[in-house]
Structure 1
């Protein structure tokens, strides 16, 4: 069973998007953050982060 895609309250740096994605897919939070930084160099990381911030619900 996979965990739901939510933004956790305790493990977040900014909005919890990277921590939520890492938790959902079972990978390292650091890897997800590095991925967003690399995508940010090409101009899509920031947009994707903001869209996911809006779409992913907070953990209850």
Structure 2
């Protein structure tokens, strides 16, 4: 069963508009353009509706599949943590005589 949830993958602010677009099966960018136009026109207080939806809509569940590229979390399969890059030493520069100033 399909549920209306905030998007975890395609969020700009809180994922409300992307979640609605994913639920109805169309492009989130198109919904964002429509929402922006409605906000500029002032048709029906879309800003207040967005705040209410951001509070009421549940977050999409996390995927436990380590091969899922949209899975968020600290354990991403068998990946080992990367070693920090070693620091490069600066080249020595001969000092110039600035005593004339």
The interval holding the TM-score normalised by the smaller chain is: 0.7 to 0.9
Q: How does 1:1-60 map to 2 (within 5 A)?
A: 3-43=2-42, 44-60=45-61
Question: Partners in 2 of 1:7 and 1:31 — Cα distance?
Answer: 17
| Higher helix fraction (1 or 2) | 1
Question: Partners in 2 of 1:6 and 1:50 — Cα distance?
Answer: 14
Larger C-alpha radius of gyration, 1 or 2?
A: 2
Q: Match of 2:60, SS?
A: coil
Task: Please give the per-residue CA displacement for 1:11-45, whole angstroms capped at 9, x wherever unaligned.
Answer: 11110001100000111101110111112113312
With CA pairs under 8 Å and 6+ residues apart, which has the higher RCO, 1 or 2? 1
Question: Partners in 1 of 2:34 and 2:12 — Cα distance?
Answer: 15
Structure-2-length-normalised TM-score = 0.53
8 A Cα contact 1:17 1:56, kept in partner: yes
Aligned pair count reads 59
